[in-house]
Structure 1
Amino acid sequence: MSTGARLSTGGLDTVHGVILYLEDITVSFDGFKALNNLTLDIDVGELRCIIGPNGAGKTTMMDVITGKTRPASGRAFFGQTMDLTSLSEAQIAHQGIGRKFQRPTVFENHSVFENLELAMKTDKRVLPTLFSRLGGEQLDRIAQTLDLIRLGALAGTPAGLLSHGQKQWLEIGMLLMQEPRLLLLDEPVAGMTDAETERTGELLNELRGKHSLMVVEHDMDFVAQIAGQGKVTVLHEGSVLAEGSMAAVQSDPRVIEVYLGR
């Protein structure tokens, strides 16, 4: 755990702004430990890259954070006192954790603008939805998000006509419309062109500081683009194998042996 941040009887002491703290998380599937006493923390506004070989526990870790999988033991704290292991998936999403899977999921028959409108954090009950009209503040938020994801010129275009990379950006924009505090991104540049990958890196760097981000990725060039001087965490066999700057983990003999050397 980060220096100065510590767990107390009142929950998570946020002296250094820790937004997520996983404590001794263990998940087993038919005797196989997908996570093995995993302990990890992320600071407010941090962009953390998570790397590691297939089967290292990266997806299972995100499943625990979002409530899709319940750990056999351990706790997952969000903010100061909230134990995510006691909440449902819907409750966790409502608290401000958004997750993007590898394959983009957008409403292909709706325009880019309509996708962002549908994703907006509003009252989703039937009557308010039927009679709702976008106010100036909501229109401004959509316009700002369109500008951020560089799709302003395509606002009226059906999402199904977008390129793969543009669909990925739209889905990130849809998550942003829900005002998340923590974004979990699973291989966000898989299948992208080089130009789209570079633009995605620019987008995530723009989000750094405004949101906390956990990025699981295999593309080491992309990780180097977004990691900067920040921390990279290497998972192996359900635990943290190494953690530090990109340069530090790339030169770690253990990381080279189990992952980078392959």
Structure 2
Amino acid sequence: MTPELLEAGVETRSRAITRIATAGEPIFNQGVALYVEDLKVAFDGFQALGGLSFTVGVGELRCVIGPNGAGKTTTMDCITGKTRPDSGRIFFGSNLDLRTMNEAAIARAGIGRKFQKPTVFEALTVAENLELALAGDRRARFAMRARLTGEQHDRLNELLHTVHLSEERHRVAGLLSHGQKQWLEIGMLLAQDPKLLLLDEPVAGMTDEETERTAELFLSLEGKHSLVVVEHDMSFVATLASTHRTVTVLHEGKTLAEGTMAAVQSDEKVIEVYLGR
């Protein structure tokens, strides 16, 4: 990759991960981070969301499951501004109406999204990827040459430890395993200090060991950030949900069931449409 192409790619990604609160900060005075009410979305006559409602608390780790076509991705698209709902309400905190904000403003307000396929700068080292994320809105050429402040250097080391990549800091990202690339991208999101993280099938393609360490990572983030984890791996969900965390089950664009993992696993409606008998 030429320096010009690398810089163009880095600058594009830098804009995508920039997190400066110019759109206003969310206010969490009711203990609710995300409020979704009666959300409806139709595509060419197909009802993707048919009146979806749920809330996510501040610092909560919420798992969302459901069969293909249940509306999981559309829900995340609406939260991040990629898709405009036909009707309904989506609030981040008690004051930010996400329907009125574009994708960039939503990201700046503190919502980070992790897609299933990792997107990192494979020609850069692990540390350089994180340095770029910590650089915020600075242009790519300057960001790549600027030295980190002492505080940023400490934060970089903290992020490397959090995402299990301390020993890989000088390794080129393209040589990482699939799971390690996922961790690196999560680290890049965390560098922007998001208040809400949306994680789409984060353990797809991971080894058993990587899946276990990813569960440890998400559990360590609980309380510091609100997390919404969309996943099909039920053993992974069971590890995250434990005995007290809430699992939301979607079906045909609505909330089919909600409760502890034990509760949804024993729910006859959930067994019928998703878990099987």
Q: TM-score normalised by the shorter chain: which range applies?
A: over 0.9
Structure 2 regions of 5+ residues with no counterpart? 1-25
**Structure 1 residues 126 and 249, CA gap change in structure 2 (3 angstroms):** closer
1:223 to 228, 237, 252: 237
Aligned to 1:250: 265
Q: TM-score, normalised by structure 1?
A: 0.92
**Other-structure match for 2:253:** 238
Aligned length: 251
Q: Secondary structure at the match of 2:123?
A: coil
Q: Which deviates further from its counterpart, 61-70 or 72-81?
A: 72-81
CA distance 1:88–1:121, change in 2 (3 Å):
farther
Deviation by residue 1:112-169 (Cα, 9 ceiling, x = unmatched) = 0000111125232468647632100000111000011111111000000000111111
Conserved in 2, the CA contact under 8 Å of 1:113 and 1:142?
yes
SS at match of 1:170: helix
Asked if structure 1 preserves the Cα contact closer than 8 Å seen for 2:27 and 2:93, the reply is no
Q: Structure 1: any 5+ residue segments left out of the alignment?
A: 1-11
Does structure 2 conserve the Cα–Cα contact (< 8 Å) formed by 1:184 and 1:213?
Answer: yes
Aligned equivalents of 1:130, 1:116: Cα separation in 2: 11
Is 1:123 aligned to 2:137, yes or no? yes
**Secondary structure of 1:259 counterpart:** helix
The corresponding residue for 2:48 is: 34
User: 1:178 and 1:15, CA in 2 relative to 1: closer, same or farther beyond 3 A?
Assistant: closer
Q: What amino acid sits opposite 1:257 in the alignment?
A: E
Provide TM-score, normalisation by structure 2: 0.87
Structure 1 or 2: more helix by fraction: 2
Alignment of 1:99-178 (within 5 A): 99-120=113-134, 122-125=136-139, 129=143, 132-178=146-192
Q: Sort the Cα spacing of 1:211 and 1:239 in 2 relative to 1 into closer, same or farther, 3 A.
A: same
Distance 1:129 1:199 in 2: 31
Q: 1:7 aligns to what?
A: none
